[in-house]
Amino acid sequence: MKKGCLITIIILLLAAVGFVGWLYFNIKIPIERGNNTNIMYEVKEGEGSFEIGDGLKEKDLIRTPWVFAYWSKFRAVEIFPGIYYFQKGMNVEDMLAILKEKKIEEYKFTIPEGWRLTQIAEYLAEKKIAGKDEFTALAKDKEGYLFPDTYRVSVNATAKEIFEKMTDNFTTRVQGLSVTKDELTLASIVEREAARDADRAKIAGVYLNRLERDMYLGADPTIQYAKGNWEQLTSYDLEMKSPYNTYINKGLPPTPICNPGLASIKAVLKPEKNGWLFFFHLKDGTTIFSQNAQDHDASKAKYKDQIAN
């Protein structure tokens, strides 16, 4: 064997040994031995191992993100969303063991504004956070009071604890506003009707003007609530026999039709009336308001090709 080849082989062997040692250091040696302080890390929905590696690096829990990513794939670790607790005294293998065993400490979930109880219950069940039937039974009389927000709960939290957390949050967020059930019911309609924040107070004003004039509210979302979905209505739906059909029943529906956010609640408490009695939406989200049926019909004719379904 030529001397040059031998040197090359030695260099390659040394490089290989060095790389293996470097890998061992990254995988087996903790960032800070003996540090047992818990550090929260959230694995978000849809995150891959490379994104998680970057996140753990930012938390100063690992040294090299791509090593974590490839080692998790080599170990065939399926990582589930949730909130985990790690320590700087753990090495990569320790962290992967926690992830592999799904040792989730907390769930983090977001309830959007305008969701109804059934949507919330289905979502919690889908994410395996709470049983659908159990949560529905607890909250069946609390439509409107399940405040839309981002929540963190223990993986051991019961449906009752989650329900109470959401209703307590409602109480906290509306503290000092003195919101009545009727105002909350109207806010729930505004929540489903408003395409833009700037329109909430104006839409609230339209419905309050109609109530004051003993007119039908004629709000599509109330019928959609009675149907059990938010799909577009048909002419047949407008004749549905239901106390939630505000095309054939005057006044507000019996209960809120969804869980509104604070912006819609405040819009009802401070409405913009301006004499408006009618409105419709354009496809771009613009809302057209009118003070009488004649102007309303004229506006609909003017924008007929731009009206949202």
Range of the structural domain that residue 156 is part of: 106-173
Which of 155, 161, 119 minimizes the C-alpha distance to 136? Answer: 119
| Cβ(202)–Cβ(287) below 8 Å | yes
For residue 141, the tally of other CB atoms under 10 A from its CB is 8
Residue-wise pLDDT tens digits, 84-114 = 999 999 999 999 999 999 898 899 999 999 9
Q: Is residue 251 part of a domain?
A: yes
**10 is a domain residue:** no
User: Do 76 and 113 belong together in one domain?
Assistant: no
Name the pLDDT band for 3 (thresholds 50, 70, 90): low
Tell me, what's the pLDDT at 24? 82
Q: What is the pLDDT of residue 12?
A: 74
- Provide the pLDDT for residue 270: 97
pLDDT at 1 exceeding the cut of 60: no
The encoded tokens of residue 126 equal: 């889908």
- Rounded to two decimals, what is the model's pTM? 0.83
- Mapping DSSP to helix (H, G, I), strand (E, B) and coil, where does residue 288 land? strand
The mean pLDDT value for 179-198 works out to: 96
Quick one: 198 and 263 in the same domain? yes
- Domain at 70, CATH number: 3.30.1490.480
60 and 113 belong to one structural domain: no
Per the structure, how many domains does the chain have?
3
pLDDT tens across 5-55, in order?
Answer: 767 776 777 766 777 788 888 889 999 998 999 999 999 888 999 999 999
